[in-house]
Amino acid sequence: MNSADNAYNKSGTNTGFSVRVYTPKTWVEQLASNAAKEYRPFTVADITEEMLEPVLRVIVYPDKPTSVGFGSTNGTSSAEHVVLRDENKKTVVQPISKEPFSDRADYQGVVAKFSLDSVREVRGPKGDKEFLIVVVGAATKEKEFKVKEKHFERLP
């Protein structure tokens, strides 16, 4: 067996956390897209109050290994928590709800909801401030994702 065939990953390479952010509108669009991919109908009648609640949904996917083998899980981590912070790191917004989910390879992700009023806290009174989504992992340090001005048109 040559080194290319060996499943052992000496570097412990991992994918890093990934984050998806949904406003009420983009959440409904995502659900409609999911239904279309599964050839299920999705009409206006299928939209519930829960789908339209005034929250920012943040889905954090776990940091997983890029290969499976002895030692290849070093540095990988489940996601345990997520918060929003202003750029100065003075304001911290906790989610109003948080639900773990299991992903492939026994790693955990998190679905968190933040009230839109809380999102306004980190965006500033004019809504023009960039902010951070901070993921707290089980085995790794925090990972920050910056929401930049170019992303604002997609936020409430």
Looking at residue 91, its pLDDT comes to 94
Q: How confident is the model at residue 110 (pLDDT cuts 50, 70, 90)?
A: very high
Instruction: Express each pLDDT in 131-154 by its tens digit.
Output: 999 999 886 678 999 998 877 777
Say if residues 83 and 114 touch (Cβ distance below 8 Å). no
pLDDT digits (tens, 9 = 90+) for 4-45: 322 223 334 455 788 999 999 999 999 999 999 999 999 999
Domain locations in the chain? 18-154
3-class SS of residue 129: coil
Mean pLDDT of 105-115: 88
pTM value is 0.79
Distance (Å, whole) CA 59 – CA 121: 20
Residue 102, pLDDT above cutoff 90: no
DSSP structure string for 50-90 = HHHSSEEEEEEE-B-BSS-STTTTTT-B-EEEEEEEETTS-
C-alpha distances (whole Å) from 42 to each of 9, 12, 39, 112 are 43, 42, 9, 24
Tens of pLDDT, residues 45-87: 999 999 999 999 999 988 766 655 555 555 578 889 999 999 9
Q: What is the pLDDT of residue 5?
A: 28
Distance of alpha carbon 88 from the chain centroid: 21
pLDDT at 148: 87
- Per-residue pLDDT, 49: 95
CATH code for the structural domain at 18-154: 2.60.40
Identify the three-state secondary structure at position 46.
Answer: helix
